[in-house]
Amino acid sequence: MKELGLPDGTNQAEGMPDFTIWPEVNGREPLELLAGQHRIRALEEWVKDAKLGEEELWWPCEFYDRDSISLEENMKLRVNNKDVAKPDDHGDIWLHLVTAVSQKPEKFKGKRCEILRDMADTLDLSRTGGVPMNRLLALWGNDKWRAMITAWCKTAVGRSTFKIRPWSLMMACRIDDFWFSTFRQVLETLASLPGDAASYVKLEDWKHMSDFLGYGRSEMETREFFYPGIGSQKVDQSCRRRPNLLVKLDREPYWQVYEHVVQSGQLSFPDVHRILGLSEQDGKILSGVINHVVDWLMSGHRSKRPPQRNNNKPGLRVDMVAALQHFDQKKLQQAKGRVTTSIGEARGQSVVETTSIVMQQELLEFVCGRLEAFRSASAKDQLTQRLDTDNAGLYQTRFRQAEWAGVLGIVRLYMGPEFRPEWPRLEEESRPGDVSHFVDMAIQHWKTLANLAGDETRCGKLSSASFRDNLASWLGEQFGSPSGPTTGETNTDAESVVSVSILTSRSCSTSDRMQISAGTDAGREEKDLPSFVDAPDPGSVFDEAMSKAEEKTALSIPSPAGDETTQQEAHRQAQPPFSPQSPSARGQDVRPEGWSHETHGCTSTKRD
């Protein structure tokens, strides 16, 4: 007002300045809306329904100086805990704490009871107000989790999924890097999208994206997601967009997001509910397996257990570092290729430190794909029976089971094939079938052999859900039990047998081969169609099969004999069965308020 030469007391409409020139007077720093978000949203809907112009999008406001407003008044305007119509969720509550500390850095320091009282007063909460204050304080007191939750809650997706109790239970597992790897992927993807994606991408939007924009998606699949029903026609901004997707975006910014996703084929949209929906028991299974692996590596020389009240306990995988000193950058890159989640390297982080993070990630992705087995009564007992000199004989009997044999196999990939030689080798009956993983590998193998990189139609058929499902069933029938290392294999061969496709263990015989159809009659035999198995030119065979079957293309498994390099390369691009973004591993959505005391339930939670 002063900049425009107007008196502070102006309260008549005709005397008020034009707020469209706000940036010219106050600079480009945006205004922060402290209260009234729901009124503004209702106004936008009303103007839209009434078909009025933008000039009607106004509302009387009170302005506060960010530098002079008191903390108490700031919090009073922000906090909305007692309004039953729309109380603050846990994400909002967390950001209120962040705001309070940014204005008064000395807040929330001192004795535990004093901090709890200070938090309750700042947030205008009572100790019986339904917010688990003790768990909130535990999260706030952990430096790594405080930083991650703060970044997470600055996004709409993050605020909708942050719940104090489940996240405190996740922190208690001491496998921070496993959770953080998925969270970082979400944050990196949001940061890369055009505009302020942290604000305009809502939780429902992210659910749709993670469901449909999976690993290995084609341009056609991306186009069908953003502009359904277009098919192979040329698409532009005027085309009908997907309803209820990115509703805050107008036509042009929506198109920009679509173009960005098309051009960024490796952009990841992990399903955060796959980990946030895990139960408390599942979290204990994950941390329990890592505890056992550390026992195997350290042979009784583990670090001392940190005090229970220490909020900044080191991760369980920290003890692995001492056993991984033999790892170099080349081996690390190979290990990174076996996990589905991108693992970054912090500045100054050593190779062995990163290796311990990748090893933990690979182990836990494996376990997450086999949680049903680890939830069994026998597996629960085995998790409680730690390795010691008195039970060595009994302990090794667990490796007759596929789930424990798989864990041991992964550890031997890092430690060498002679690690714990007294324990069973990975024989046929002890190695798990990894069908969904092999589906990804087979499809990638076909795309490479037939040079289909730029062929949207063919790639679309190969990646369709119906084809993937039928291929998985066929693989399960044909390769139910992968064979172990054959006589004459080197140590290197034996070491890689866990990570190399099941396709290497047995070639297809023409007598028992059943073709897999990508059409509506999936699974029926197509004896008149050529196969990749014995073909000298897979590309021409693919063309012949496509031309004969058209929309009902039938394919069979390629023989991998003598093609170990190609298989290993395909493995590095494929996904294991637990994959936040794998289209072949979709499951029913689970509420992020998981971590209940029941195995599958998400409603039987216990307050502090």
Residues 501 and 532 grouped into a single domain: yes
Is the Cβ–Cβ distance between 78 and 124 less than 8 Å?
no
Residue 277 main-chain phi, psi, to 5 deg? -90, 0
Residues 6+ apart with CB under 8 A from 347: none
89/448: higher pLDDT:
89
509 and 372 housed in the same domain:
no
pLDDT value, residue 367:
97
Q: Are residues 396 and 497 in the same domain?
A: no
**pLDDT > 60? residue 77:** yes
Select the highest-mean-pLDDT range: 350-359, 563-572, 588-597: 350-359
- C-alpha span between 59 and 509 (Å, rounded): 74
Closest to 436 measured CA to CA, from 462, 473, 482: 473
Residues 329, 426 within the same domain: yes
Please state the domain count of the chain: 2
| Distance, CA of 76 to CA of 230 (rounded, Å) | 50
- 555, β-bridge pairs: 516
Which tokens belong to 372?
């049903």
- 379 and 523 co-located in one domain: no
pLDDT score recorded for residue 476: 66
Q: Is position 463 within any domain?
A: yes
3-state secondary structure 410-438: HHHHHHCCCCCCCCCCCCHHHCCCCHHHH
List CB contacts of 92: < 8 A, sequence separation 6 or more: 80, 159
In single-letter form, the type of residue at position 107 comes to K
92 in a structural domain: no
Residues in Cβ contact with 42 at an 8 Å cutoff, skipping those fewer than 6 apart: none
DSSP label of 516: E
Distance CA 333, CA 339 (A): 11
Q: Give the 3-state secondary structure of 274-312.
A: HHHCCCHHHHHHHHHHHHHHHHHHHCCCCCCCCCCCCCC
Asked, for residue 301, whether it belongs to a domain, the answer is yes
Euclidean distance between the first and final Cα of the chain, in Å?
Answer: 50
Q: What is the pLDDT of residue 13?
A: 53
pLDDT tens digits, residue range 388-433? 878 888 999 999 999 999 999 999 999 999 999 999 875 543 344 4
- Round to whole Å and give the CA distance between 486 and 452: 34
* Domain-embedded: residue 544: yes
For residue 547, give every residue at least 6 positions away whose Cβ sits within 8 Å of its Cβ, in sequence order, or none: none
Same domain, 459 and 550: yes
Distance CA 312, CA 322 (A): 21
Residues 299 and 440 in one domain: no
Domain shared by 537 and 517, yes or no:
yes
Is residue 34 one of the residues assigned to a domain?
no
Q: In this structure, are 312 and 379 located in the same domain?
A: yes
> Residue 489's pLDDT band (boundaries 50, 70, 90)?
very low
* One domain, residues 315 and 426: yes
Q: What is the pLDDT of residue 568?
A: 40
Q: Give CA–CA dist 47/361, Å, rounded.
A: 50
326 part of a folded domain: yes
C-alpha 598/C-alpha 403 separation (Å) is: 22
Task: Point out the domain boundary residue: 402, 430, 458.
Answer: 430
- Could you tell me if residue 109 is inside a domain? no
C-alpha distance from residue 331 to each of 37, 175, 335, 351, 411 (Å): 51, 23, 6, 10, 14
pLDDT above 90 (res 458): no
Domain that holds residue 374: 273-430
Distances 465 to 221, 435, 440, 451, 517 between C-alpha atoms, Å: 11, 15, 12, 21, 12
